[in-house]
Structure 1
Amino acid sequence: MKLDAISIITADMSAAVQFYSSLGLDLVDGGADAPHTEFSSGSLRLLLDTEAVMLSIDPEWTWPTGGHKMSLAFDCTTAEAVDTTFAQLTAGSAGGAGSDPVAGVVHEPWDAFWGQRYAVVSDPDDNYVDLFAALGSPAQQ
């Protein structure tokens, strides 16, 4: 047995597709107007489903309440890429000049005590997405 996919329920499929596309995931099925969308990241899939899909599976399904839902973490490879990705997602440049930000700011990039450059944004459904990379030299740690 192996973990194959992570599923996220979204209230705004179009915004969620834009957000996860901006993170470099490969759209393999569905899209902005679909009730179900799939992205690929190597051997792991990210699934997006609308509330209607969830209600078709479980008619008593309701949105979670009471706090933080989940968090995903993306290895950006370099500290510079953490900063660049954070800036693109939160300044709107991921969607082109003059576009709205695709992510909310949770925590701006910082050098974490555990030896990584780290930042946290939120997706359109307020799920946290961590951006990280190992700091290069011991002097940076």
Structure 2
Amino acid sequence: MTAQFDAIGLVTTDMAASLAFYRRLGVNIPADADTEPHVEATLQGGLRLLWDTVAVVRSFDPDWTPSSSGSERIGLAFLCGSPADVDKTYAELVESGIGREHKEPWDAFWGQRYAVVLDPDGNGVSLFAPLAD
């Protein structure tokens, strides 16, 4: 059998904060999941987004430590309904305190309104929408 891409996993130090962030981006996550050590959400198209606490990861990899380089090697991207929605979503995440500023919205040369906000664990999350023709 050929391997099939199925899920993206995130390690979090604060499950409730991380889930609240992704709920604001429209990910359907049950409210009672906030205290669970492992959470899964199935996204449109069937891809799954997974969260594990540091304790869960260390239960099978005791020497696991988060990256100390401070540079992103992977990021998530969320399509917004319009360029104005990119600005609105970025502002809501930052103003609520659940997301942190990284790259404020701008009109990118590749034809999108684009922004990057950091989730509670410092993962870069891109927000984008096509610019009007």
- Shared fold (TM-score greater than 0.5)? yes
| 3-state SS, counterpart of residue 128 of structure 2 | strand
Gaps of 5+ in 1: 93-100
Task: Report the RMSD for the aligned CA atoms in angstroms.
Answer: 1.6
Per-residue deviation, 1:115:
0.4
- Aligned partner of 1:14 in structure 2 is 16
- Please list the CA deviations of residues 33-90 of structure 1 after superposition, one character each: whole Å capped at 9, or x if unmatched: 1101112221111101001110111122222221224311111131111111111111
Per-residue deviation, 1:28:
5.4
**What percent identity do the matched residue pairs reach?**
47
* TM, length-normalised to structure 1: 0.85
| 3-state SS, counterpart of residue 32 of structure 1 | helix
| Number of equivalent positions | 129
**Is 1:39–2:35 an aligned residue pair?**
no
Q: How does 1:101-120 map to 2 (within 5 A)?
A: 101-120=97-116
* TM, length-normalised to structure 2: 0.90
CA distance in 1, matches of 2:4, 2:91: 34
CA distance in 2, matches of 1:44, 1:28: 17
Assess if the C-alpha contact under 8 Å between 1:36 and 1:53 holds in 2.
yes
- After the TM superposition, which segments of 4 or more aligned residues of structure 1 sit over 6 Å from their partners? none
**Is 1:128–2:121 an aligned residue pair?**
no
Query: What amino acid is the match of 2:80?
Result: C
- Please list the CA deviations of residues 3-55 of structure 1 after superposition, one character each: whole Å capped at 9, or x if unmatched: 11100100111110110111100115961111011122211111010011101
Assess if the C-alpha contact under 8 Å between 1:29 and 1:37 holds in 2.
no
